[in-house]
């Protein structure tokens, strides 16, 4: 193969593996800046993946399927948010319980409903798609991919340049002081978690409707936890979370791309690579960056 063809294959793999992570990481970044370490992100993505395909195949409407996937992620977020920030349940227990519940529920309903195949077709961007190597890899994609152009800048603007974002950051840094100034801390935490559910559901639906075109049992396979690692890897900054998602996506893509290029690498090692990288990030980089001071700490005064 020529260098251009090889580069196109590699970039296509990185784009496919990174896009669901980028959507979910944008949401997880908001949740963690508000003080919630969202363990249920795996369940949000898996629910979005299943519901997206189930609705799209039942209605033959891909847009309805995508919206249903977003709604499924939001539903899991609403359950998590209200148990953790209204009923003061342990957020880790709630998150892990939801992950297990969604895994079992999607397996059951996939067996009962047997959703068919459903997949968005790529959209070609004129002129840009002609760029060597990157043209067909980046500018010939299903249209939901291009939502990243809006989602990532809008996430940054919402957190860094709005009064709402200031209150979210205060809720994650010093909730007692925020409460004293009249900020409804648990309301802001719930709102950030809702947005995380929306974007994680979108990431899951993108995985099933734009990449795979069907639902497979446990098709997220732990990438929600990789998203958690990406946010930590990025030092709780949005640009860092985006870079982390791209890095982990590239590591995952190598397991699919290298064998097609004729490179002989142990397949088990390739499959484990993104998770090994995530573990390294969790082990070392978490200590070198300062997290929001109240991350994963419940706030109980004046729960509303």
| C-alpha R_g of the chain | 19
Angstrom distances, CA of residue 304 to CA of 86, 107, 301: 6, 35, 9
Task: Note whether residue 275 is domain-resident.
Answer: yes
Task: Note whether residue 271 is domain-resident.
Answer: yes
Q: 209: domain CATH number?
A: 1.10.3470
The domain tally of the chain equals: 1
Apex 35 CA angle, 29 and 36, nearest 5: 75
Task: Note whether residue 63 is domain-resident.
Answer: yes
Q: How confident is the model at residue 2 (pLDDT cuts 50, 70, 90)?
A: low
Q: What is the pLDDT of residue 189?
A: 97
Q: What is the pLDDT of residues 70-111, one digit of tens each?
A: 999 999 999 999 999 988 889 999 999 999 999 999 999 999
Residue 239 contacts residue 292 (beta carbons within 8 Å): no
Task: Note whether residue 304 is domain-resident.
Answer: no
Q: What is the pLDDT of residues 206-221, one digit of tens each?
A: 999 999 999 999 999 8
Task: Note whether residue 243 is domain-resident.
Answer: yes
Task: Note whether residue 199 is domain-resident.
Answer: yes
Residue 180 belongs to what domain range?
3-288
Higher pLDDT, 222 or 145: 145
Task: Note whether residue 302 is domain-resident.
Answer: no
Task: Note whether residue 299 is domain-resident.
Answer: no
This prediction has a pTM of: 0.92
Q: How confident is the model at residue 3 (pLDDT cuts 50, 70, 90)?
A: very low
């Amino acid at each position: 193969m020529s260098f251009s063809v090889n580069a196109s294959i590699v970039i296509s793999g990185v784009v496919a593996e990174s896009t669901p992570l980028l959507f979910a990481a944008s949401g997880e970044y908001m949740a963690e800046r508000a003080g919630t370490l969202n363990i249920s992100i795996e369940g949000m993505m898996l629910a979005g993946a299943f519901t997206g395909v189930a609705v799209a195949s039942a209605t033959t409407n891909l847009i309805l399927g995508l919206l249903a996937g977003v709604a499924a992620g939001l539903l899991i977020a609403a359950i998590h948010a209200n148990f953790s920030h209204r009923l003061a349940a342990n957020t880790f227990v709630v998150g892990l319980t939801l992950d297990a519940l969604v895994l079992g529920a999607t397996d059951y309903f996939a067996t009962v409903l047997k959703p068919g195949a459903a997949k968005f077709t790529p959209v070609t961007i004129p002129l840009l798609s002609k760029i060597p190597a990157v043209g067909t890899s980046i500018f010939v994609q299903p249209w939901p991919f291009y939502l990243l152009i809006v989602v990532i800048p809008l996430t940054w603007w919402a957190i860094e340049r709005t009064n709402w974002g200031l209150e979210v950051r205060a809720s994650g840094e010093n909730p007692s002081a925020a409460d004293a100034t009249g900020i409804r801390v648990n309301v802001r935490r719930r709102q950030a978690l809702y947005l995380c559910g929306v974007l994680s559901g979108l990431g899951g639906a993108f995985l099933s409707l734009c990449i795979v075109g069907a639902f497979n049992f446990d098709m997220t396979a732990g990438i929600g936890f990789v998203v958690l690692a990406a946010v930590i890897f990025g030092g709780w900054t949005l640009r860092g979370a985006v870079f982390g998602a791209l890095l982990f996506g590239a590591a995952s893509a190598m397991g699919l791309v290298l064998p097609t290029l004729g490179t002989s690498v142990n397949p088990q090692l390739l499959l484990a690579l993104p998770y090994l990288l995530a573990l390294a990030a969790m082990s070392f980089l978490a200590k070198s960056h300062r997290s929001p001071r109240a991350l994963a700490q419940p706030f109980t005064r004046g729960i509303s």
